[in-house]
Amino acid sequence: MAESRSGLSRARTHSHSPTPSLAASRPDLASFPPLRAWQRRALVEYLRRGEEDFLAVATPGAGKTTFALRIAAELLADHTVEAITVVTPTEHLKAQWARAAAAVGIQLDPTFRNADVHTTTDFRGVVVTYAQVGIAPMVHRRRTMARRTFVILDEIHHAGDSRSWGDGVRSAFEPAPRRLMLTGTPFRSDENPIPFVTYERGPDGLLRSRSDSSYGYGDALADRVVRPVIFLAYSGETRWRTSAGEELTVRLGEPVTQDVTAHAWRTALDPSGDWMPQVLRAADARLQVLRSGDIADAGGLVIATDQKTARAYARLLTDISGEKSAVVLSDDAGASEKIAAFAASTQRWLVAVRMVSEGVDIPRLAVGVYATSASTPLFFAQAIGRFVRVRRPGETASVFLPSVPQLLGLASEMEAERDHVLGVRAKGFDDELLERAQQSDRASDELTKSFEALSATAELDQVIFDGASFGMPVRAGTPEEEEYLGLPGLLSPDQVALLLHRRQAEQSARGGRSGHAKGDVDAPPLMTAATRRIALRRQLNGLVGAHHHRTGIPHGKIHAELRRQCGGPASAQATIEQLEARIAALQAL
């Protein structure tokens, strides 16, 4: 009877045991999508080391999420960890991570609140934001200590955004047996140290972040993992009135003081002027070329500075394209739903105020308009990262931007790999000047009168690709501009460079500066500094192209080596003397 009762007891125990939850089942490694070469290399390195911390730097669009989830699956499979916590910069990315994890059999709760303390057994872990952790680090520390937790810190540089975030992240996840830090931009514009990142002192005595795996844009471009980005830089004449009643006229991008550049830049971005409508019209024409060709669902994104201008740009695009544009503002309750709806649709344009800049996955974005005042390397890299995600071989991206030195330099250095440096502020445009120039958007009526944008006209100044500058200035709306807007949408990087060289040669053969309006009187030939620089850039690009065909070295690497030897900025910003030095160095090879 005892044996019978024992058997009955066991049967009852079994019959009342809970049904295995979704979280209890471990992901099937065999069902994972194939890893890219860089992901395989990084995975092998991660498993070989078996260390607490690992920093993976990979260019936007390379597949950091898939890489992180594969590591999570490996650690769950061998019982190294029991739970997963993912930390992201924004609310929208929480849902995006949860969907990606569910697709490979890992259930994560993106709705977890600090007040919840625990999650249900339906989930293997949670997705939270840095802000959540910063507010209540002890909640997350207790969760981390309760179960062996693998912590994925997405875009880890955000943990340095404020001391409370950085301290909170360190306090919350210090007990974790494994931490994986992900970023596409491991640098910051300030000196706030990033938690769990190792800094090493260089020969110059400065501390630099050290990555454990690095996969830059140049590598990804060579592997055809990301799209080549063509930058179309627009200049033009800008005119405004100061508080003293003085009217100033400056060509956008001319070498002037930073405050004058800030006002010229702001005048160009004014939706009531002519510059923005002309650039938006050109961008929509480029988008139409892609949609009429091989990228039928291609979408465009305008990144605006503030909500007022974002709405104004959307109205302009509706008039230009004949289709209503989606607008996403940071304080919209349904911002994430709007982004997801746009990503799944075939709608032409999305206008956003900065928030669609990092980690947001809209693979069909192929045309961008950089209409914001932000000019730090960090923000620029994040923004351009929205356009590089490739879906099939040969897709290209086109980004329209103001022809100002700060942005031209960043566009020319897309392949540069930067580390976070402590002890020195990142060089670049002083955003505070531009912020002061824009204060009239939000200030009192009296302050608003201190600046009045009068007019601005657009002109395609140059096309930047692979570190090189192509073309000569042409007016917006001319056949010469259309030749660049009409480039095919499916091209390899080599084909892009070849076509741009050909367009430039054809433009040069027609006689220099093109696109004059009817009635213009040809002036006597005059070799001004501006025309001299254009001629030298053209000559340098031709020599670089010839050297590429002889050696097979990519254009960008040739330009980078010339800069290393001769000094100076990218060719789009280089002086006449610097261009001449590079030409002489290349001719001497």
Q: Give the highest mean pLDDT range of 71-85, 118-132, 172-186, 255-269.
A: 71-85
State residue 66 phi and psi, 5-degree precision: -60, -40
pLDDT higher than threshold 80 for residue 185: no
Instruction: Read off the pLDDT of each residue in 125-154 and give the average, rounded to a whole number.
Output: 95
* pLDDT for the residue numbered 199: 76
* pLDDT for the residue numbered 7: 39
* pLDDT for the residue numbered 359: 53
Amino acid at 356: V
CA dist 239 → 293, 358, 563 (Å): 38, 34, 35
pLDDT higher than threshold 70 for residue 458: yes
* pLDDT for the residue numbered 480: 86
pLDDT higher than threshold 80 for residue 358: no
Query: What's the N-to-C CA distance of the chain in angstroms?
Result: 97
Instruction: Look at residue 199 and give its three-state secondary structure.
Output: strand
Residue 133 structure tokens: 């952790």
Specify the CATH class of 19-215 in words: alpha beta
Residue 447 structure tokens: 């302050």
* pLDDT for the residue numbered 471: 78
Reported as a single tens digit per residue, the pLDDT across 74-89 is 999 999 999 999 999 8
Instruction: Read off the pLDDT of each residue in 492-507 and give the average, rounded to a whole number.
Output: 81
Same fold, 19-215 and 222-513: yes
pLDDT higher than threshold 90 for residue 355: no
- Split at pLDDT 50, 70, 90, the class of 2 is very low
pLDDT higher than threshold 90 for residue 418: no
Closest CA to 228 of 381, 443, 414: 414
pLDDT higher than threshold 90 for residue 165: no
* pLDDT for the residue numbered 120: 83
* DSSP class of 389: B
pLDDT higher than threshold 90 for residue 43: yes
C-alpha span between 124 and 40 (Å, rounded): 24
* pLDDT for the residue numbered 49: 92
Where are the domains positioned within the chain?
19-215, 222-513, 527-589
Closest CA to 429 of 260, 308, 194, 577: 260
pLDDT higher than threshold 80 for residue 141: yes
Instruction: Look at residue 507 and give its three-state secondary structure.
Output: helix
Residue of 6 and 295 predicted with greater confidence: 295
- Split at pLDDT 50, 70, 90, the class of 15 is very low
- Split at pLDDT 50, 70, 90, the class of 320 is very high
What is the rounded average pLDDT for all residues in the chain?
A: 80
State residue 266 phi and psi, 5-degree precision: -65, -40
* DSSP class of 226: B
CA dist 512 → 283, 419, 480, 508 (Å): 24, 41, 11, 5
Residue 540 structure tokens: 């340098």
* pLDDT for the residue numbered 159: 77
Residue of 562 and 315 predicted with greater confidence: 315
Give the CA count within 13 Å in the CB-facing half-sphere of 129: 14
- Split at pLDDT 50, 70, 90, the class of 42 is very high
pLDDT higher than threshold 50 for residue 166: yes
Residue of 307 and 178 predicted with greater confidence: 178
Indicate the Cα dihedral angle 461, 465, 471, 477, nearest 10°.
-50
Which helix (H) or strand (E) segment is 408 a member of? helix 405-412
Could you tell me what percent of the chain has a pLDDT over 90? 33
Instruction: Read off the pLDDT of each residue in 308-317 and give the average, rounded to a whole number.
Output: 95
CA angle 562/403/492 to nearest 5° reads 60
Residue 114 structure tokens: 């600090």
pLDDT higher than threshold 60 for residue 425: no
pLDDT higher than threshold 90 for residue 171: yes
Could you tell me what percent of the chain has a pLDDT over 70? 81
- Regarding the domain delimited by 222-513, which CATH topology (the fold level of the hierarchy) does it fall under? Rossmann fold (3.40.50)
